[in-house]
Amino acid sequence: MELIDGNRIAAAIAAELKQKVSALPGRKPCIALVRVGEDPASVSYVRKKEKTAEEIGISSRVILPPATISQAELLTLIDQLNADEGVDGILVQSPLPKQLDELQIFRRIAPGKDVDGLGTMNLGKVAQDDDTGFVSCTPAGIMELLARSGVDLKGKHVVVLGRSLLVGKPVALLALQKKSGANGTVTVCHSGTANLAVLTRQADVLIAAIGRPEFVTADMVKPGAVIIDVGINRVADASKKTGYRLTGDVHFPSVAPLAAKITPVPGGVGPMTVAMLMKNTVKAFEQRSQRS
């Protein structure tokens, strides 16, 4: 069993980007990070994004509207960032407070600045195998992890657990694409799937993004499969100082011995998400520079 080290691969991508950014003349790429309210997980994610941007040489603008902001006010803020020539990429940290319509917010971000890749245009470009768009960061990170770990999906049966806009749907589309590293045969499973374990046991590559702690157990996995665990769940654990431990959607102790390769949680997919956001921001900067 080989552990796929997301921290190491993400650090390699950050080093490549740092080199690229340091060679740029004039102004550096800039990302606007919009965090609404004080959700503890969001606070920590945005801090991590800000820190990584700084390490690479990307400037970040952190905008902190109150949790009480209205839909109209947030849309106005996005319009201002869309029009701002000094901003290359815009990320609105999810989840948003209940009064806000996330999908409408994501759609309002200009496609050329949608570095989180969740707008209609960029998702459509993934479906069309169009590389000019921005792939949402977690799915892009998964494909990068596989490629840099020597896993070619061509001819492989890829089973995706979960159909979210954030991970399940886009990663299924990416694995299907007619290009190097992809060309997989893809099955998408979800809460309405019958005989789930029968399907997961057929997977050469299993991507678990279902949001249920330690859901995937040894009896659901084919020996020799590659396991990508996207889940990050807090589970109560009295032995920890925090009172909880982080676990994925895969029961690591029972599944890892069966796997050819597996991502840990934490330290697997998570660091890749931030690295790919930075990669998208540099790409947005380059595309805008070419147009101007």
| Confidence label for 84 from pLDDT (cuts 50, 70 and 90) | very high
Choosing from 93, 113, 229, 261, the catalytic residue is: 93
Active site residue 116: yes
* Ranges of each domain in the chain: 25-110, 137-270
Buried b or exposed e, range 12-36, using 16+ CB within 10 angstroms: ebbeebeebbeeeeeeebbbbbbbb
Residue 292 confidence (pLDDT) above 70:
no
Tens digits of residue pLDDT in 258-270? 999 999 999 999 9
Active site residue 177: no
Separation of alpha carbons 14 and 35, rounded Å = 23
Give the DSSP letter string of 143-208. Answer: HHHHHHTT---TT-EEEEE---TTTHHHHHHHHHSSSTT---EEEEE-TT-SSHHHHHTT-SEEEE
The CATH number of 25-110 is 3.40.50.10860
Give pTM, 2 decimals: 0.95
Choosing from 49, 113, 261, 283, the catalytic residue is: 49
Equal fold, 25-110 vs 137-270: yes
Active site residue 154: no
User: Is the domain defined by 137-270 classed in CATH 3.40.50.720?
Assistant: yes
Question: Mean pLDDT score of the chain, rounded to an integer?
Answer: 96
Choosing from 88, 116, 204, 229, the catalytic residue is: 116
Q: Are 221 and 176 in contact (CB under 8 A)?
A: no
Q: Which of 125, 124, 63 is nearest to 89 (CA)?
A: 63
Collect all residues with Cβ–Cβ distance below 8 Å to 224 and sequence separation of at least 6. Answer: 258, 259, 260
Identify the residue whose tokens are 């694995």.
175
Identify the residue whose tokens are 């996995």.
221
